[in-house]
Amino acid sequence: MRNVLIDVDTQHDFCDPRGALYVAGADALGPAFRALVGRATETGTKIVASIDSHAFDAWEFAGAEARGPNGEQPNFPPHCVKGTAGWLKVEGTLPARSRFVPNVRVDELPVADALLLEKEVYSLFANPNAHAVLDRLGAERYIVFGVATDYCVRAAVLGLRDYAPSAEILLVEDAIAAVDPAGGERALAECVARGARLITLATALRVMS
């Protein structure tokens, strides 16, 4: 069965206690993140990673004049501003053969072991190239990890289910962290209700062997 590893927002602003929008417990997941990316690299499993990416005046930020496409104004602190240290991926999650896919439609997709999809909202499918990237990879199974469970991980899983109704979606429960524990539990229940299966890191590594 053809696997694709889905890495959700493993960036310093979310995963470092000094980060602008730190997700509690995410710093302890570094070994799990590295193990998953390392195993994917060893086995030739393709990686699709989402990269939260904002300008300094993004509509998500507190004090911004603009609102989101549906009138949203979440008032988050400035985070993952493109080019800053907080925007960068954490150690061990950036394979040597990686390419960035910007948040604008491109005529020709790059070829690499890992494709990094820039996004400005929760779902990686907000990147207009997401469907084309996944179409080309032709996966039958998606293995999902990262942060935050109740926001972007949830959006990735539900987006994958809408994109590939018959695919197997595995969510690595010991390689995710939630902003709000109760919200995280609700998100996991929703993902499972939509057909995702919760697995351990050990199982994920075995699946990719």
pLDDT greater than 80 at residue 162: yes
For the chain, domains (ranges, CATH) are: 3-52+89-207 (3.40.50.850)
63-79 residue pLDDT tens = 777 777 777 777 888 99
The token pair at 149 is: 């469970």
Alpha-carbon span 122 to 16, nearest angstrom = 19
77-107 residue pLDDT tens = 899 999 999 999 999 999 999 999 999 999 9
pTM over 0.85: yes
Alpha-carbon span 138 to 99, nearest angstrom = 18
At residue 8, the 3 state secondary structure works out as: strand
